[in-house]
Amino acid sequence: MLTPNVELNHSVILVTGAAGFIGSNLVIELLNTLQNATIVGLDNVNDYYDVSIKEYRLSEISTLAAKRPENTWIFIRGNIADKALLDSVFTEYTFDVVVNLAAQAGVRYSITNPDAYVESNLIGFYNILEACRNHPVKHLVYASSSSVYGTNEKVPYSTEDKTDNPISLYAATKKSNELMAHAYAKLYNIPSTGLRFFTVYGPAGRPDMAYFGFTNKLLKGETIQIFNYGNCQRDFTYVDDIVEGVKRVMTCAPEKADGTDGLPLPPYRVYNIGNSCPENLLDFVDILQQELIAAGVLPKDYDFESHKRLVPMQPGDVPVTYADTSALEQDFGFRPSTPLREGLRRFAQWYHSFYGEEKK
């Protein structure tokens, strides 16, 4: 077990992508559990998906912040690709910890809209690194992705495995983030930790994710496509487990040390955060439909068989994701454990509450 060396109470924390799925849940957790902390959220609230969900997340944060006056919540609407903005923010606030969750997400979108990934995931992340170099922080934590493993056939995926064969631009940008962070850790002694997330899901998630998109289509009476003829497996990880992992990692920055050459050894780590329990997509869809019925999103007599179609694999996708989380367990005594049914039940209940009669 690592010994915590970063105190989050009484600290100043930057969370980029604060209106995003993981970012908003992290901010809520920090507001709920910290004392006398200042949490600065940064997000450009773009329209990659339904902006009303992002605004909903921000309103939930604001409501909670009003009930937790011992902490300070500050939201800045802006883009990490705007270097001047980042420099002004880092100048105004002396950050102890930076958690970079801002990114252009999505494998398929990267095939048709590559510019968005270069701007946010490469230029934006470079700006974050430069800001941390010019305004030193105790710990930089950033989101990577299970996509970096590409078509590796060895499972479960270990952080010791090679990750130099990305099959989408999205995956390539995430691997680039890890390489850039390593270089800055070595050159400028910036303690940094990359987190490879595995298929995150839950309430108020991203509508481009399968469980959310399937629900929207089923409700409209449309047919859902199940890729690779249903033979894909995904390591679905509930968002609360991701947030718990991020928060624990925030408290343990890699130690600074010098090598035999007198130069800094890179204070750098990478972890997987996944459920370590891959689920077959057909089983996943079956559980989802059961929970959608139980939550009242879909009628009890819904004909699922006529609304699903098995189709070939699509470009950029991989047949399986499966996390080896042994390093996370060894260093932090934690591993994600929320069962898929429980997580999908919470999503279905949220979906019914959020959309109500509007979708019907």
- Catalytic site residues? 170
Alpha helices (runs of H) in the chain, residue ranges in sequence order: 21-33, 51-67, 83-92, 109-112, 114-117, 125-134, 169-188, 210-219, 239-250, 281-294, 326-332, 340-355
Report the candidate in 19, 26, 20 with the shortest Cα–Cα distance to residue 249. 26
- Residues 6 or more apart whose Cβ sits within 8 Å of residue 124: 79, 80, 81, 102, 103
Q: What letter represents residue 285's amino acid?
A: V
Distances (CA, A) of 340 to 59, 124, 214, 287, 288: 27, 33, 16, 8, 9
Distances (CA, A) of 13 to 16, 31, 71, 298: 10, 11, 11, 41
- Residues 6 or more apart whose Cβ sits within 8 Å of residue 56: 204, 354
- Token digits for 128? 């974050």
- Rounded CA gap, 303 and 295, in Å? 17
- Rounded CA gap, 314 and 201, in Å? 21
The H or E element containing residue 101 is: none
